[in-house]
Amino acid sequence: MELKGLKTKTIGRNVIYYKVIDSTQLEAWRLKDISSGSIIITDRQTSGKGTHGRAWQKKHDKDIAFSIKIDLDCDVSKLSNITLDIAKIIVNEFQDLYNIKLYIKIPNDITVNNKKVGGILTETKIIGNTVKEMVIGIGINLCKQEFDEDLKDIATSIENEENVEIDRLEIITEFCNRFENLILEIY
């Protein structure tokens, strides 16, 4: 899998693709010898991770589920707003590329019409006050779909709400381009 239009030096340069995997987030932590900026993408997750131990289901191969692993050496205070900054990147790119207005529900949800379409999971390995590694997982429901009874009033997809087909690789590529600029500002 190739991210066409990538303008980065490191973020997204190494793509690890799985048709099906338990969790891109877990895989990012399991893979010890991958380069900083590596991205793990899947068509389907069977045990995706959300915040507070919740599951993030990915049922359609055109939805977004990926994680990026980054090696860092910076004070933890520099990352205090990283999840919100990532959410802003996502909201801005959907506006810029598709003229779709998404919203941020702090701390880590992406919404449209007061329903969740995506989420961000940021995990770090810290020694003392220094962040050594960070894995960022992003999941976004893009395709038209039915949701389980317990989720149908709180979750949706971009296509359900906006009736617009989104190119997931374009979104992932543009995210990498914008995210690398943010990371370069941090350290």
pLDDT for 47 equals 79
pLDDT for 76 equals 94
| Domain 15-186: CATH superfamily, name plus number | Bira Bifunctional Protein; Domain 2 (3.30.930.10)
CA distances from 133 to 7, 19, 32, 114 (A): 23, 26, 11, 33
Tell me the pLDDT band of 186, cut-offs 50, 70 and 90.
confident
So where are the chain's domains? 15-186
Per-residue pLDDT tens digits for 12-39: 999 999 999 999 999 999 998 999 999 9
Query: Tokens 């900054």, residue?
Result: 85
Q: DSSP states of 117-170 as a string? A: EEEEEEEEEEETTEEEEEEEEEEE--S-----TTTTTTB--HHHHH-----HHH
pLDDT for 187 equals 64
pLDDT for 125 equals 96
pLDDT for 46 equals 87
Give the pTM. 0.91
**Of 117, 127, 138, 140, whose CA–CA distance to 69 is shortest?**
138
179: its two tokens: 């995210």
147 vs 156: CA distance, rounded Å: 7
Per-residue pLDDT tens digits for 147-175: 778 777 888 999 999 999 999 999 999 99
pLDDT for 184 equals 84
Per-residue pLDDT tens digits for 49-108: 555 455 555 556 789 999 999 999 999 999 999 999 999 999 999 999 999 999 999 989
Q: What is the distance in angstroms between the CA of the first residue and the CA of the last residue of the chain?
A: 29
pLDDT for 81 equals 93
